[in-house]
């Protein structure tokens, strides 16, 4: 396993996934902060830290569950007609549904941020919190909602890296743990940086659209899908890594240009 974790593909996947997990966790940090800020001053840090630790535990549990479903690669239904052929498995279904969810969630989040940037925050603020236990309960619900797209992103970034699903599961867990540790240590600075540079979060959501599309094509590839006799191929993850790295480089240049002005 150590040899796999030290390969260039695994290291690149780990770095990219950790970055995306942190970007995806920004909304989580904001909502947790809003819920915690309704508590007395001496309980706020405790609620924030507990909330992020619970987020990590929820995501690790979901990783085990989703990884089990992904491992079900044997087809249970075969569709074949003149123009379409496919062998459907639970693995392909999970990837297809996950891809659709990521595309829908990302596009709707981008629209929300463009049209009503404080809509979700106002919804959280409107809920009354009287005790630490109430705050933790609300944070748990928020964490679970944000864990779904986080886990699907992890699956999309690591699926196919190694034939042994346990190896990719360990890689995903490492990325989740690192991202949560970073968020616990730098929650407020990260939140302030994203507030000053909202384009970073939009960029992260745009990456999710790419990952969602990649999950759909991966699903079709694993199902041996053929349209009019033409099989659907998987998108090499190297293309995705290059697109993300290039976009971040352009964003860095924009940041430097704006700062110099």
Q: What value does the mean pLDDT take over residues 222-233?
A: 81
- 78-106: average pLDDT: 82
pTM, 2 dp: 0.64
For residues 155 and 165, what is the distance between their CA atoms, to the nearest angstrom?
A: 10
Give the confidence band of 244 by pLDDT, cuts at 50, 70, 90.
confident
Segment 150-178, tens digit of pLDDT: 777 777 777 667 777 778 888 888 888 88
221 closest CA partner among 101, 96, 72: 96
pLDDT (tens digit, 9 = 90+) per residue, 177-224? 888 888 877 766 766 676 677 777 778 778 878 878 888 888 888 788
The sign of the dihedral angle between the CA atoms of 182, 34, 24, 99 is: positive
> pLDDT exceeding 90 applies to what percent of the chain?
0
pLDDT category, 128, cuts 50, 70, 90? low
């Amino acid at each position: 396993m150590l040899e796999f974790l030290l390969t260039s593909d695994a290291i690149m996947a780990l770095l990219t996934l950790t970055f995306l997990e942190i970007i995806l966790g920004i909304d989580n940090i904001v909502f947790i902060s809003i819920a915690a800020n309704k508590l007395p001053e001496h309980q706020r840090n405790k609620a924030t830290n507990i909330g992020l630790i619970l987020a990590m535990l929820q995501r690790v549990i979901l990783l085990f569950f989703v990884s089990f479903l992904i491992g079900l690669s044997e087809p249970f239904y075969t569709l074949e007609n003149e123009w379409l052929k496919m062998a459907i498995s639970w693995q392909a279904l999970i990837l297809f549904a996950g891809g659709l969810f990521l595309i829908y969630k990302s596009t709707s989040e981008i629209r929300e941020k463009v049209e009503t940037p404080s809509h979700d925050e106002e919804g959280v603020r409107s809920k009354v919190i009287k005790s630490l236990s109430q705050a933790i309960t609300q944070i748990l619900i928020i964490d679970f909602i944000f864990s779904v797209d986080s886990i699907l992103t992890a699956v999309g970034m690591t699926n196919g890296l190694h034939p042994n699903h346990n190896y990719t599961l360990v890689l995903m867990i490492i990325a989740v743990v690192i991202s949560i540790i970073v968020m616990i240590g730098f929650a407020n600075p990260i939140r302030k940086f994203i507030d000053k540079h909202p384009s970073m979060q939009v960029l992260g959501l745009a990456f999710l659209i790419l990952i969602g599309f990649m999950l759909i094509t991966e699903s079709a590839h694993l199902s041996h899908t053929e349209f009019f006799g033409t099989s659907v191929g998987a998108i090499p993850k190297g293309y995705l890594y290059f697109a993300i790295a290039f976009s971040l480089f352009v964003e860095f240049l924009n940041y430097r240009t704006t700062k110099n002005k």
